[in-house]
Amino acid sequence: MKHLLQILLTISFAMTFAVAQEKYNSTEQELESAADSVLGIKKSADILNNQDYKSTKIENKEEKEDWEDWDNWEDWKESRKKEWRSTGKRGYFCGGAGGWDYYMMDLNVSAINSELVNIGLQPLGKQIYMTGGGGWGFIGHGIRIGGMGAHGQAKSKGNPGNIDLATEVTLAINFGGFLIEKVYHPFNKTELYWGTMIGGGNAQLKFEQWGGPVDWDELWGGYNNAVIDSSTTKYTDYQNEISCGYFTVLPSIGFRYNFFRWAAIGINVGYLYSRMNQDGWEMNGKTVTNVPEIDFSNVIYRLNLYFGG
C-alpha cells in the first residue's frame, strides 16, 4: 500500500512537471514570435523612412531646377517670343470688323451734261466722290460676309444769262447691299481679298432756281392762275426732284494693312455695274417720260479705315 502511494505521487509529480514544461515552451515561442514581429515592423518603418527621404530629395532637386529656370527671366522671355512667332502669322482681323469708306468714281453722264449746257450751266465734274461704311464677320475658311453702302453727289450751279436768278442741279447717287469676300494673309499684319457686293441703289436729280428772299404774297401767287397769267407776278423760285432705282453689282479686289491689331487701313479697286430702267424715273410719285439712257457703271476706287478684332 505504501509503495502504491509512492508510485502515484511520483506519476502525479511527473505529469505536473510535464504540463509546466509544455506551458513554458509555448510561452517562449509566443515571445519569440512577438519579438520577430516587432523587428519586422521596425525594419518596414526604416524602409519607408528611407523612401520618404529619397522622394524629398528628388522633389527638392526638381523644385530647385524649376526656380533656376525662372531665375533666367530674359532667356524665358526670348523663348516665349520665338514660340509665339512660330505659331503663325499674327496682327490681322480674324473675327469681324467695320468702319468708314471713301470712294472716287469716274462719272460719264453725257445725257445730263448736255442738258446742263443747254440751260447755261457747266457740266458735272469728271468724278464723283462718295462716303460710306460697311462691316463683316468671318464664317470660316477665309470667307467673310457682311454689308456695305455709300452715298455721294455732284453739283453744277450758276446764273444763266447773268440775270438775278441762281440755278443749281444736283446729281446724287447711293447704293448698298450684301457683301461676300475671300481673304488671304500672305504676310504678318496684312491681307489680300477679293469679293463682290450685290444689291441696289437710287439716283436723284434735283433742280433748284431762286431769285433771292421770297415774299409771302409772291409765294402764293406762283400757284394762282390769275396771277400767273398776268405780267405782274415776280415769283420765279421753284424746285423739282426726280429719282430712279437700279440694280447693282460691285466686284472688287483690295489690300489692307493693320497698323494696330484692332485697326487697319486699306485700298480697293472695283467696277460698279448698274442696271437702270429708264422708265422708272419719277417726280413726286408721278412718272417722268422720255428720259434718255443714263448709266453710272464705271471703275470705282475705295480707301477704307476699319476697326475690329
Please name which of 258, 253, 269 lies closest in space to residue 307, comparing C-alpha atoms: 258
Hey, what's the cell of 101? 469708306
Q: Where do the DSSP E strands lie in the chain?
A: 96-106, 127-140, 143-158, 166-184, 190-210, 238-260, 263-276, 282-283, 286-287, 298-308
Please name which of 214, 118, 210 lies closest in space to residue 165, comparing C-alpha atoms: 210
Are 128 and 44 part of one and the same domain? no
Half-sphere exposure of 221 (CA within 13 A, CB side): 16
**pLDDT on residue 132:** 97
159-188 pLDDT, tens digit per residue, is 876 677 788 999 999 999 999 999 999 989
Question: What is the mean predicted confidence (pLDDT) over 280-291?
Answer: 92
Is the pLDDT at 60 greater than 80? The verdict is no
Pairing mode, strands 190-210 and 166-184: antiparallel
Q: How confident is the model at residue 214 (pLDDT cuts 50, 70, 90)?
A: confident
**pLDDT on residue 215:** 74
**pLDDT on residue 302:** 98
**306 vs 260: CA distance, rounded Å:** 11
**pLDDT on residue 148:** 97
Are 79 and 126 part of one and the same domain? no
Is the pLDDT at 196 greater than 90? The verdict is yes
Question: What is the mean predicted confidence (pLDDT) over 146-164?
Answer: 88
Q: Using an 8 Å Cβ cutoff, are 173 and 296 in contact?
A: yes
End-to-end CA distance of the chain: 125
**263 vs 169: CA distance, rounded Å:** 39
Are 241 and 213 part of one and the same domain? yes
Between these two residues, 264 and 20, which has the higher pLDDT value?
A: 264
Residue with cell 436768278: 165
What's the predicted TM-score (pTM) here? 0.65
Question: What is the mean predicted confidence (pLDDT) over 85-97?
Answer: 72
**pLDDT on residue 4:** 42
* Cα separations in angstroms, 88 against 82, 92, 303, 307: 11, 12, 28, 22
**pLDDT on residue 162:** 64
Are 64 and 120 part of one and the same domain? no
**pLDDT on residue 225:** 65
**pLDDT on residue 247:** 97
Is the pLDDT at 268 greater than 60? The verdict is yes
Is the pLDDT at 20 greater than 50? The verdict is no
Question: What is the mean predicted confidence (pLDDT) over 229-248?
Answer: 77
Are 129 and 80 part of one and the same domain? no
Is the pLDDT at 55 greater than 60? The verdict is no
In the chain, what are the helix, strand and coil shares in percent, each to the nearest 5? 35, 45, 20
Are 41 and 159 part of one and the same domain? no
Domain residue limits at 43: 1-87
Which of 112-121, 159-168, 284-293 shows the lowest mean pLDDT across its residues? 159-168
Is the pLDDT at 193 greater than 60? The verdict is yes
Kindly report the CATH number assigned to the domain that includes residue 172.
2.40.160.20
Task: Say whether 210 sits in a helix, a strand or coil.
Answer: strand
Are 17 and 151 part of one and the same domain? no
Is the pLDDT at 127 greater than 90? The verdict is yes
Q: How confident is the model at residue 24 (pLDDT cuts 50, 70, 90)?
A: very low
Are 165 and 54 part of one and the same domain? no
Residue with cell 512660330: 86
Are 77 and 177 part of one and the same domain? no
Contacts of 5 (CB under 8 A, 6+ apart): none
Percent of the chain with pLDDT over 70: 66
Q: How confident is the model at residue 64 (pLDDT cuts 50, 70, 90)?
A: low
Question: What is the mean predicted confidence (pLDDT) over 144-154?
Answer: 97
* Tally of domains in the chain: 2
Q: Using an 8 Å Cβ cutoff, are 176 and 133 in contact?
A: no
Please name which of 94, 173, 170, 175 lies closest in space to residue 134, comparing C-alpha atoms: 175
Q: According to the per-residue pLDDT averaged within each range, which of 1-10, 44-53, 102-111 is highest?
A: 102-111
Instruction: Calculate the average pLDDT of the chain.
Output: 79
Among 87, 110, 140, the domain boundary falls at 87
